[in-house]
Amino acid sequence: MKSGSSFCITLVYLIFLSCSPGDNQLKTGWWKYEQGLHLGDVLILRDSNVKGDTIFISGKPVANLVSVNTHRIEVVSLYSGERGSYIYK
């Protein structure tokens, strides 16, 4: 019975990974402002302004990525805790 539940957990994890965008999509497309925390009308995420899950603007850390999927990212301000979202374009 234990191997069955381990299999189910592994399967759910693999499905989750397959639905998440790769680093390539995150950093090759652009993200249009949807609501909440406003870091700009458009976010273009590249190696120079994203390190790990932290977003930098003008070399200063301003927000963390808290949720990433194929069509939407959610960010939270490092200073105010305000959350916002952007849509993949």
Quote the pLDDT of residue 48. 84
- Per-residue b/e over 46-70, b at no fewer than 16 CB within 10 Å? eeebbeeeebeeeeeebbebeebee
- Convert the pLDDT of each residue in 19-44 to its tens digit: 444 566 678 889 999 999 999 999 99
Instruction: Return per-residue pLDDT of the chain as tens, 89 residues.
Output: 455 555 545 544 444 444 444 566 678 889 999 999 999 999 998 888 999 899 999 999 999 999 988 899 999 999 999 999 999 98
Phi, psi (rounded to 5 degrees) for 42: -135, 135
Quote the pLDDT of residue 88. 93
The DSSP element (H or E) to which 81 belongs, if any, is none
